[in-house]
Amino acid sequence: MSDKKDLLILDDEPSITKILEHFLKKDFNVVVKNDGSEGMLWLEQGNHTDLIIADLHMPNLSGKEFLKVAKASNLYSEIPIIILSGSDESSERIQCLNLGADDFMVKPFNPMEVHAKINAILRRSKRFS
């Protein structure tokens, strides 16, 4: 039994998921899904994750829609979510944070910063659980 935390990455851009997976798989168990509805389906099948990284703009179920669904659910509302976006539109960022996102990062991002933010959020959520 590894004490690695589980990460669910939702992004329809293979280049982004490859970078994240490459940088994070050493310290985390990484699962990648192509959009929010695939991610939601995966969760509904009883899979567990400690943190979700979701792209804001995805087909089928966008990051923002995924955020709304997850935060409204009794089962998933406690899972921290980081939103990734290609746009630095502050209204989008504010909206996502108000919907319950734990962080918002603009692409292109520094994978080391993503890693640091994940650790910071997991430390915080562990303190409160």
What CATH number did the domain enclosing 97 receive? 3.40.50.2300
Q: Which domain holds residue 86?
A: 5-128
- 82-85 long-range Cβ contacts below 8 angstroms, 24+ apart: 82/51, 82/52, 82/53, 82/54, 82/114, 82/117, 82/118, 82/121, 83/54, 83/55, 83/56, 84/11, 84/16, 84/53, 84/54, 84/55, 84/56, 84/109, 85/55, 85/56, 85/57
> In the structure encoding, which two tokens stand for residue 128, read together?
């409160």
Structure confidence by residue, pLDDT tens digits, 28-65? 999 999 999 999 999 999 999 999 999 999 999 999 99
pLDDT band at 127 (very low <50, low <70, confident <90, very high): low
- pTM value is 0.94
For the chain, how many structural domains are there in total?
A: 1
